[in-house]
């Protein structure tokens, strides 16, 4: 779901060269770096450039991705790609949603975050649906303030206890629709084929490369 209503011909193309991944999350940086590998980009992370992490004040995934990308592009003088993503649980009214990282606390303890999701669902009773989906919004910003954005989604259900040591975040408790392995059990290439981030990334590639 890239910027609906825009003329595809007006979308700015991204030339090969240096690109900042506007994230300090090493798992996310690694995944985006893998996805970018075929496109001739010289990738550097915001953490490697010692760029600060902005306060995520947006009320949507797209808004938070845009503010992160725009800050990184402005401070680095380079195009910057940011991701804002999260787990939306139907039985919790869409939570943790845009606050997915905050549920992990200052220590970014996603074992804690997954346990909190499980406990909140358990408190609502055994009949509470465990349907969930991941959303990923990608924002690509240039130093002149131009931004393109793309949004992807993958649906599934939650399992407990968590399964698998691959991936990051809530991956170990997320079982995609028709899947037998959680994202935490999948090898990276298998996850890349179906994930929310890969969905958004396919849209980005079609538009800007």
Partnered with residue 21 across adjacent β-strands are: 45, 81
**Does residue 166 sit within a domain?**
yes
Residue 179: give its domain's CATH number: 3.90.950.10
Helix axes 196-208, 26-36, angle to 10 degrees: 40
Reply yes or no on whether 84 is catalytic: yes
Query: Using one digit for the tens of pLDDT, what is the confidence trace for 1-43?
Result: 444 445 555 789 998 899 999 998 888 898 888 888 889 899 9
The answer, yes or no, to whether residue 167 has pLDDT greater than 50, is yes
CB 22 within 8 A of CB 81: yes
**Does residue 59 sit within a domain?**
yes
Domain that holds residue 91: 8-208
Query: Using one digit for the tens of pLDDT, what is the confidence trace for 121-143?
Result: 999 999 999 999 999 999 999 99
**Does residue 41 sit within a domain?**
yes
What pLDDT, on a 0 to 100 scale, did the predictor assign at position 11?
Answer: 86
Q: How far is CA 10 from CA 3, 97, 198, in A?
A: 11, 31, 23
Catalytic residue among 84, 109, 111, 127: 84
Overall number of domains in the chain? 1
Q: State the pTM of this model.
A: 0.88
CB 113 within 8 A of CB 89: no
**Does residue 12 sit within a domain?**
yes
Q: What is the token pair recorded at 22?
A: 């506007």
Question: Distance between CA 174 and CA 111 in Å, rounded?
Answer: 13
């Amino acid at each position: 779901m890239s910027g609906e209503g825009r003329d595809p011909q007006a979308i700015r193309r991204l030339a090969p060269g240096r690109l900042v991944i506007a994230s300090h999350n090493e798992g996310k940086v690694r995944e985006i770096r893998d996805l970018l590998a075929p496109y001739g980009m010289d990738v550097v992370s915001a953490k490697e450039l010692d760029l600060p992490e902005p306060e995520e004040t947006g009320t949507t995934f797209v808004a938070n991705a845009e503010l992160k990308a725009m800050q990184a592009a402005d401070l680095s003088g380079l195009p910057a790609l940011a991701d804002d993503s999260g787990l939306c649980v139907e039985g919790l009214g869409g939570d943790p949603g845009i606050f997915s990282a905050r549920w992990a606390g200052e220590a970014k303890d996603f074992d804690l975050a997954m346990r909190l999701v499980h406990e909140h669902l358990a408190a609502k009773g055994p009949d509470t649906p465990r349907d969930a989906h991941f959303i990923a919004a990608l924002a690509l910003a240039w130093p002149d303030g131009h931004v393109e954005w793309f949004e992807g989604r993958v649906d599934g259900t939650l399992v407990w206890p968590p399964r698998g040591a691959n991936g990051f975040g809530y991956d170990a408790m997320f079982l995609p629709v028709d899947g037998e392995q959680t994202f935490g059990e999948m090898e990276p290439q298998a996850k890349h084929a179906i994930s929310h981030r890969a969905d958004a990334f396919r849209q980005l590639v079609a538009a800007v490369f």
